[in-house]
Amino acid sequence: MASRASIKLVFLGTGGSYPIPERNVSSIALKVDSEVLLFDCGEGTQRQLMSSSLSFMKVDKVFLTHLHGDHILGLSGLLQSMNMNDREKAVEIFGPRDTGRVLKDIIFKGYFRPGFPVHITELQPSARLDFGDFSVTAIKADHNVPTLAYLFEERDKKGRFNKKKALDMGVPEGPLFSKIHRGESITIADKVIGPDEIVGPPRRGKKVFYSGDTKPCNEIIEAAFRSDVLIHDSTLDASLSDAALRHHHSTAKMAAEVARKAEVDRLYLFHISPRYKDLDLLEEQAKEIFETSKVPDDLSEYSL
Amino acid sequence: MASRASIKLVFLGTGGSYPIPERNVSSIALKVDSEVLLFDCGEGTQRQLMSSSLSFMKVDKVFLTHLHGDHILGLSGLLQSMNMNDREKAVEIFGPRDTGRVLKDIIFKGYFRPGFPVHITELQPSARLDFGDFSVTAIKADHNVPTLAYLFEERDKKGRFNKKKALDMGVPEGPLFSKIHRGESITIADKVIGPDEIVGPPRRGKKVFYSGDTKPCNEIIEAAFRSDVLIHDSTLDASLSDAALRHHHSTAKMAAEVARKAEVDRLYLFHISPRYKDLDLLEEQAKEIFETSKVPDDLSEYSL
């Protein structure tokens, strides 16, 4: 009777390019039960983690979309702080081509040597990492350097077990409960009881799609299809569409079009340019296309 | 009639080792007229600058005490943000031995190449850099890696020129004003007028001493002698003296003893361990030895 995982989305940094007092650079955390998955890790991410409800020591896996500074420069400090707090458990870092070379230069120079293993894995587009209760799949994004988007998928869960009905039908509590929950039929007093009489339909696991920096692209629309949450590049407003595309970024409106085509439940606009202090403009432009659009504040948290 | 420079001290980050929500890691700025000198540049310093009254684009000179992460990991992001804001002017970085090798690895890897010159100079202890209106001298500190403390010295200024008295004595406004202000005698209607009749005594320039990470040492007491401001390592409280010395740091009490021996005007306690949320303990222990001691808050500013 496995219970549903608790999944929490925390926006650690929602700004693009460079930080401003109101917004830090890119980092998004997904808390899955007690583990924290980090997607990108711009400068200052460790302090954002410390200012959130999450523990920076619980970060075991980091997924980098690409190797621009505003997405990676917080890694070194995060690892050093873990080290000062006696971490022993390995940290797994995933990213696109060149991640190993670039991170080795940035992280392990100077006097710092971590007292715990740091594993760096370069992923090809479409690589799917199966972690048991969830998986993460790398998707090719369209930015001006090698860039991956990421699809987080919780494993589908068994249907709800109707304990009262099982007892009413004469099924004794014990191994037969598990058997029928697994989808097998059982026989009680010469009567065959099928699992669909007691167990509801399987429950689809949650899907969260994170685009990183990208202009709108079909690979993302396809891979994000019917996600619960899409977090999409929304660097500029619609009046700057040409500039957005020239720099391989998206406008809020473009992000909303991706959300609409991908039929997602919710869109969070992300990687906001430092030029915007008032975010209403971006949110309004997205909502014209896709109603459930939002610019999240830094440190805002959402349960899935 | 050179006017006195405006000097402002801004504590960008007063914490040691790693950041906490209440305090960022090490960085201190001195604004001298319109220029900003940065002493150390821990992760997140650019965002602290952006949250202060200073402009991060006005930082032309950075002085690193040593190459531990909490003092240097903000450099890369700062330079990248300058680049995104079309900086053309060179940035000069000074630090102890190994600064060139370590910074080249940390700053110039990945895809980033600055569009402006970045000059890195390794300093030997006692090296004095003369910048005209002020100088900065590197002083050997006592930490567990090569570490320099820094003495900022404003150039002594000419005495105040008493314009009213000059006119009353018949000196016409013009070149003779400059001549007498330079210290030369002049003759008006066969009467010799000496400079001390019109010009006050020379005014001593301000002195600010920044210790970086260090245990108490005589080099610092001597070099900081009669500074207006001493900013000194104060990582731990007096109950942890052994640990402080073992890690080549100081307690608040040790910092206060240095301040007393150096006969400085004011002591700012700095590089506070993340373990302290309440800072009264450190300030009280210092004040028992040296009355004008203070733990500054992050982003606090003081005019000299």
Q: Which of residues 223-262 of B touch A (CB under 8 A)?
A: none
- Tens of pLDDT along A19-65? 999 999 999 999 999 999 999 999 999 999 999 999 999 999 999 99
Mean pLDDT of chain A: 94
- Tens of pLDDT along B108-138? 767 788 999 999 999 999 999 999 999 999 9
**Chain B residues with CB-CB distance to A105 below 8 A:** 105-106, 109-110
- Residue of chain B whose alpha carbon sits nearest to that of A71: B77
Active site residue A98: no
Q: Which of B222, B210, B275, B216 is nearest to B248 (CA)?
A: B216
The pLDDT value recorded for residue B157 is 86
Q: Check whether A3 has a pLDDT greater than 70.
A: no
> In this structure, which amino acid lies at residue A5?
A
Partnered with residue B78 across adjacent β-strands are: none
> Is any Cβ of chain A less than 8 angstroms from the Cβ of B100?
no
- Residue of chain B whose alpha carbon sits nearest to that of A98: B110
Count other Cβ atoms within 10 Å, centred on residue A280.
9
The three-point CA angle B210-B212-B218 to 5° equals 75
What DSSP string runs through A50-73?
HTSSS-GGGEEEEE-S---HHHHT
User: What's the residue count for chain B?
Assistant: 304
**Chain B residues with CB-CB distance to A145 below 8 A:** 111
Using an 8 Å Cβ cutoff, are A143 and A246 in contact? no
Quote the pTM value: 0.91
For testing contact with chain B, the best of A45, A57, A81 (most B CBs within 10 A): A81
Q: Which residues 6+ apart lie within 8 Å of A284 measured at CB? A: none
**Chain A residues with CB-CB distance to B50 below 8 A:** 19-21
Asked if the Cβ–Cβ distance from B77 to A43 is below 8 Å, we say yes
Count other Cβ atoms within 10 Å, centred on residue B234.
34
Provide, rounded to the nearest whole percent, the portion of chain B with pLDDT above 70.
Answer: 98
A74 vs B24, B43, B112: nearest CB: B43
- Residue of chain B whose alpha carbon sits nearest to that of A45: B44
> In this structure, which amino acid lies at residue B71?
H
Asked if the Cβ–Cβ distance from A112 to B69 is below 8 Å, we say yes
Q: Check whether B225 has a pLDDT greater than 90.
A: yes
For testing contact with chain B, the best of A17, A18, A213 (most B CBs within 10 A): A18
> Is any Cβ of chain A less than 8 angstroms from the Cβ of B84?
yes
Choice among A33, A60, A70, A298 that is catalytic: A70
Q: Which of residues 141-170 of A touch B (CB under 8 A)?
A: 145
Pairing of strands A266-270, B293-294: unpaired
Nearest chain B Cα distance for residue A201, angstroms: 45
Which phi and psi (to 5°) does residue B269 adopt? Answer: -85, 140
- Tens of pLDDT along B236-259? 999 999 999 999 999 999 999 999
Using alpha carbons, list the distances in angstroms from residue B3 to A101, B157, B159, B267, B302.
53, 8, 10, 27, 19
Domain boundaries, chain B: 7-157+203-303, 163-197
- Tens of pLDDT along A215-233? 999 999 999 999 999 999 9
Query: What tokens were used for B169?
Result: 């004595």
ipTM here:
0.89
Asked if the Cβ–Cβ distance from A43 to B145 is below 8 Å, we say no
User: How far is residue B100's CA from residue B122's CA, in Å, rounded to a whole number?
Assistant: 7
- Tens of pLDDT along B123-181? 999 999 999 999 999 999 999 999 999 999 999 988 889 999 999 998 999 999 999 99
Q: Which residues 6+ apart lie within 8 Å of B130 measured at CB? A: none
Report how far apart the first and last C-alpha atoms of chain A are (Å, whole number): 20
B47 vs A24, A50, A72: nearest CB: A24
Size of interface A-B (CB pairs under 8 A): 105
The pLDDT value recorded for residue A2 is 45
User: What's the residue count for chain A?
Assistant: 304
A69 vs B47, B69, B110: nearest CB: B110
Asked if the Cβ–Cβ distance from A50 to B20 is below 8 Å, we say yes
User: How far is residue A214's CA from residue A86's CA, in Å, rounded to a whole number?
Assistant: 37
Nearest chain B Cα distance for residue A6, angstroms: 26
Q: Check whether B4 has a pLDDT greater than 70.
A: no
Which phi and psi (to 5°) does residue A139 adopt? Answer: -125, 140
Using an 8 Å Cβ cutoff, are A242 and A249 in contact? no
B80 vs A69, A74, A111: nearest CB: A69
Helices A99-107 and B99-107 pack at an angle, to 10 degrees, of 150
User: How far is residue B290's CA from residue B304's CA, in Å, rounded to a whole number?
Assistant: 19
- CATH superfamily membership of B7-157+203-303: Ribonuclease Z/Hydroxyacylglutathione hydrolase-like (3.60.15.10)
- Label residue B1 by pLDDT band (50, 70, 90): very low
The three-point CA angle A50-B109-A251 to 5° equals 65
Asked if the Cβ–Cβ distance from B67 to A18 is below 8 Å, we say no
